C-alpha cells in the first residue's frame, strides 16, 4: 500500500480531511493534488478542530512531507493566513513544499468569478467565490501565473500585466468593469507573499519520483468530490478541476500505475452545497434534522448544505469511474436516532426506471428516487470501535451500501474524532491515529 489515493465519492465534504489525517499517521508524503481554497477539510485531533483549505491534512504528522502539487490553484494570501493559524496553534509547518508549477489565484480571478456568477442570474453555479474557475481558465488559456514565477520579480510583473489586461477585457465584456486595479500594487503585494513562501517553493517532481522509487508511503489527497468533477460531474454545476483518482495522478505527477489503493469517501447520507441536481435532497423536516444534527454548514463559506438520503445510483457511478478498492463510510452516527433509513437504489425518469446518471443536469433534476427502506438502530454508536459491536441494523446498512456501491467499507466513521473510527479489511492495521 505504497500509494493511496483518497477521493470524494459524492458532492464534496464527505470527510476526506479526517480520513487523510488518520492515514497520515504512517505516511511519508501527503500530496494535495488539485482544487484550491474552495476546499475545506476538517480535522479534529488532540490540538483541537482545524479547517484546512490548501495545506494537506497530513500536516499533523511532523515526520511527513506535505506537498501542494502542480495541479493546485494556489491563493498565496490564503495560504499565508492558513500557515499563521497553524503555527499559532502549535502545528509545525516546516514539512510543507509548494510546487513551482502550481497556478496562482490572483485578485482579478476573484473579481471575474463574481462577475461571471452575477451574469448567470438564476443559473449561477453557486461557486465558493474563491476564484478557482477563472484561475484554471487562465491556465488553459496559457496566460496563468505560477508559483515559480514569484522567483523573478521582473518576469512576475510582466505576467501580472498580461493577466490583468485580459481580466479587464472580460470584465468590460460582462459590463462589470469598475475601473483599473493597480497593477503595481497587486504585484508588490504578491511579491511580499513570495518572501514568506519562498522557502517552500520547489520543483517537487524529483521529490515525488524519489519517494515512489524508494517505496515510501504516499497519500494523494483529493478535494471536492467526483460528482463535482469537470468531466464526469453534474456539469455545468461542477467545479473546474478533475476530482477523480485519475485527476489526482495528473495533478500530483504520480504515474497511474504507482497507485496501489484508492479510497472513496462517502457519507452515510448525501449533502451538496451550491446549485445543481441532487435527486435525494430532502426539503422536509428530515433534511432539516440531518443538517442540524450533523451541523451541515460549509467549512469554507458557512452556507447551509443541502441534505438527503444516500444515493446508490450516483455512488455506484463514482465508484466505477474511480475504481475504488475501499470505501470510507463516514458519519454513520448521524443516523443513530432514525426509525427508518432510506437508500436510493434507482431513479424513475418520466416513467422509466434507470440505474445510470443522465448526462444532462436538467434530466437528473427530473429523476425521482426509488427508495429501499431499512430499519434504524436507535442507539448511539459513537463509542463503537469494532464492526462486530455495531447494532445488527447498522451492520446491515453498511453491508447494503457495500453491495450497492461495489467496494468494501474498510473504514467507518462514528464521530469526528480520530478514535471514532472503525478500521477493518485493508485498514485493519492502518489508520494509526485511530488507535487509542
Stretch that binds ligand IMO, among 59-67, 224-232, 354-362, 400-408 (CB under 6 A): 224-232
> Which three three-digit cell numbers place residue 313?
445510483
* Interaction of residue 413 with ligand GDP, rule CB under 6 A: yes
Q: How far apart are CA 102 and CA 33, in angstroms?
A: 10
* Interaction of residue 38 with ligand IMO, rule CB under 6 A: yes
> Which three three-digit cell numbers place residue 162?
498580461
Choosing from 4, 13, 149, 278, the residue that interacts with ligand IMO (CB under 6 A) is 13
Integer angstrom CA distances of residue 323 from 11, 220, 241, 375, 407: 17, 15, 19, 30, 9
Q: Which is nearer to ligand IMO, 105 or 431 (CB)?
A: 105
Question: Residue 386: left (phi > 0), alpha (psi -120 to 50), or beta?
Answer: beta
**Catalytic site positions:** 13, 41
* Interaction of residue 40 with ligand IMO, rule CB under 6 A: yes
* Interaction of residue 125 with ligand IMO, rule CB under 6 A: yes
Binding mask 305-344 for ligand IMO (x = CB under 6 A): ----------------------------------------
Q: Which is nearer to ligand IMO, 12 or 107 (CB)?
A: 12
398 three-state secondary structure: helix
Choosing from 56, 133, 279, 413, the residue that interacts with ligand IMO (CB under 6 A) is 133
Return the one option of ligand IMO, ligand GDP, Mg ion, none that residue 18 interacts with (CB less than 5 to 8 A, by type).
ligand GDP
Q: How far apart are CA 280 and CA 367, in angstroms?
A: 9
Rule CB under 6 A: which of 32-91 touch ligand GDP?
Answer: 40-42, 44
* Interaction of residue 334 with ligand GDP, rule CB under 6 A: yes
* Interaction of residue 109 with ligand IMO, rule CB under 6 A: no
180 three-state secondary structure: coil
Q: Which is nearer to ligand GDP, 144 or 251 (CB)?
A: 251
Backbone torsions φ then ψ of 171, nearest 5 degrees:
-60, -40
Backbone torsions φ then ψ of 345, nearest 5 degrees:
-110, -15
Rule CB under 6 A: which of 287-316 touch ligand GDP?
Answer: 299
Q: How far apart are CA 225 and CA 322, in angstroms?
A: 11
Q: How far apart are CA 194 and CA 149, in angstroms?
A: 10
Bridge-based pairing state of the strands 201-202 and 96-99: parallel
Contact predicate 66/58, CB 8 Å: yes
Q: How far apart are CA 231 and CA 240, in angstroms?
A: 9
Stretch that binds ligand IMO, among 129-137, 244-252, 253-261, 319-327 (CB under 6 A): 129-137
DSSP code, position 297:
B
279 three-state secondary structure: coil
Using Cβ positions, the residue closest to ligand GDP within the complex turns out to be 413
Return the one option of ligand GDP, Mg ion, ligand IMO, none that residue 128 interacts with (CB less than 5 to 8 A, by type).
ligand IMO
Q: Which of 85, 78, 182, 195 is nearest to 131 (CA)?
A: 78
Q: Which is nearer to ligand IMO, 52 or 98 (CB)?
A: 52
* Interaction of residue 222 with ligand GDP, rule CB under 6 A: no
Task: Give contact residues for ligand IMO (rule: CB under 6 A).
Answer: 8, 11-13, 38-41, 125-128, 130, 132-133, 223-225, 228, 239-240, 273-274, 299
Amino acid at each position: 500500500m505504497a500509494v493511496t489515493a483518497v477521493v470524494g465519492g459524492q458532492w464534496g465534504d464527505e470527510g476526506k480531511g479526517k480520513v487523510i489525517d488518520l492515514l497520515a499517521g504512517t505516511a511519508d508524503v501527503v500530496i494535495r493534488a488539485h482544487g484550491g481554497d474552495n476546499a475545506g477539510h476538517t480535522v479534529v485531533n488532540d490540538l483541537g478542530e482545524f479547517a484546512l483549505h490548501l495545506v494537506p491534512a497530513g500536516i499533523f504528522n511532523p515526520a511527513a512531507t506535505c506537498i501542494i502539487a502542480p495541479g493546485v490553484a494556489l491563493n498565496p494570501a490564503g495560504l499565508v493566513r492558513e500557515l499563521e493559524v497553524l503555527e499559532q496553534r502549535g502545528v509545525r509547518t516546516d514539512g510543507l513544499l509548494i510546487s513551482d508549477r502550481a497556478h496562482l489565484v490572483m485578485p482579478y480571478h476573484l473579481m471575474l468569478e463574481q462577475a461571471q456568477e452575477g451574469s448567470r442570474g438564476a443559473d449561477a453555479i453557486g461557486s465558493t467565490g474563491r476564484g478557482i474557475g477563472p484561475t484554471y481558465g487562465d491556465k488553459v488559456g496559457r496566460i496563468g501565473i505560477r508559483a515559480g514565477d514569484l522567483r523573478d520579480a521582473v518576469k512576475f510583473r510582466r505576467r501580472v500585466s498580461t493577466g490583468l489586461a485580459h481580466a479587464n477585457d472580460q470584465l468590460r465584456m460582462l459590463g462589470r468593469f469598475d475601473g483599473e486595479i493597480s497593477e503595481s500594487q497587486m504585484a508588490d503585494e504578491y511579491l511580499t507573499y513570495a518572501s514568506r513562501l519562498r522557502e517552500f517553493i520547489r520543483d517537487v517532481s524529483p521529490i515525488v519520483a524519489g519517494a515512489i522509487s524508494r517505496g515510501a508511503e504516499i497519500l494523494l489527497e483529493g478535494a471536492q468530490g467526483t460528482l463535482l468533477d469537470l468531466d464526469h460531474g453534474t456539469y455545468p454545476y461542477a467545479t473546474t478541476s478533475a476530482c477523480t483518482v485519475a485527476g489526482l495522478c495528473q495533478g500530483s505527477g504520480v504515474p497511474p500505475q504507482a497507485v496501489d489503493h484508492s479510497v472513496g469517501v462517502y457519507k452515510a447520507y448525501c449533502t451538496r452545497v451550491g446549485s445543481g441536481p441532487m435527486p435525494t435532497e430532502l426539503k422536509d423536516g428530515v433534511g432539516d434534522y440531518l443538517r442540524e444534527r450533523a451541523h451541515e454548514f460549509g467549512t469554507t463559506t458557512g452556507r447551509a448544505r443541502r441534505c438527503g438520503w444516500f444515493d446508490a445510483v450516483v455512488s455506484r457511478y463514482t465508484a466505477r469511474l474511480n475504481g475504488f478498492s475501499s470505501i470510507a463510510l463516514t458519519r454513520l452516527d448521524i443516523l443513530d436516532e432514525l426509525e427508518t433509513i432510506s437508500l436510493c437504489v434507482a431513479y424513475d425518469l418520466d416513467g422509466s426506471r434507470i440505474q445510470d446518471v443522465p448526462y444532462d443536469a436538467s434530466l437528473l433534476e427530473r429523476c425521482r428516487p426509488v427508495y429501499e427502506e431499512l430499519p434504524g438502530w436507535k442507539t448511539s454508536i459513537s463509542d463503537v470501535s469494532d464492526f462486530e459491536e455495531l447494532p445488527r441494523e447498522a451492520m446491515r446498512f453498511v453491508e447494503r451500501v457495500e453491495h450497492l456501491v461495489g467496494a468494501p467499507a474498510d473504514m467507518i466513521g462514528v464521530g469526528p474524532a480520530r478514535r471514532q473510527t472503525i478500521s477493518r479489511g485493508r485498514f485493519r492495521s492502518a489508520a494509526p491515529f485511530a488507535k487509542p
